[in-house]
Amino acid sequence: MKTRLNCPCGTAIAGADEDDLVEKTRSHLTESHPGMNYSRDEILFIAY
């Protein structure tokens, strides 16, 4: 299960599980990178 992701901007994102990680990553993208939308699969591809 992947629960961590490092955004190229330097922000580290951690979730309790994959669903939480995807939700937190999408929130980060909305706040910090408007217009950048990634699918669940794309987010989990770069997660670890």
Contact 4, 21 (CB under 8 A): yes
Q: Please state, for a pLDDT cut of 90, what percent of the chain lies above it.
A: 100
Q: How far is CA 1 from CA 9, 22, 30, 32, 41, in A?
A: 23, 12, 24, 25, 13
pLDDT at 18 (0 to 100): 98
pLDDT at 46 (0 to 100): 96
Going residue by residue through the chain, which has 48 residues, state the pLDDT in tens, using 9 for 90 and above. 999 999 999 999 999 999 999 999 999 999 999 999 999 999 999 999
Alpha helices (H) in 1-48, listed in sequence order = 18-32, 40-46
| pTM summary value | 0.93
pLDDT at 4 (0 to 100): 98
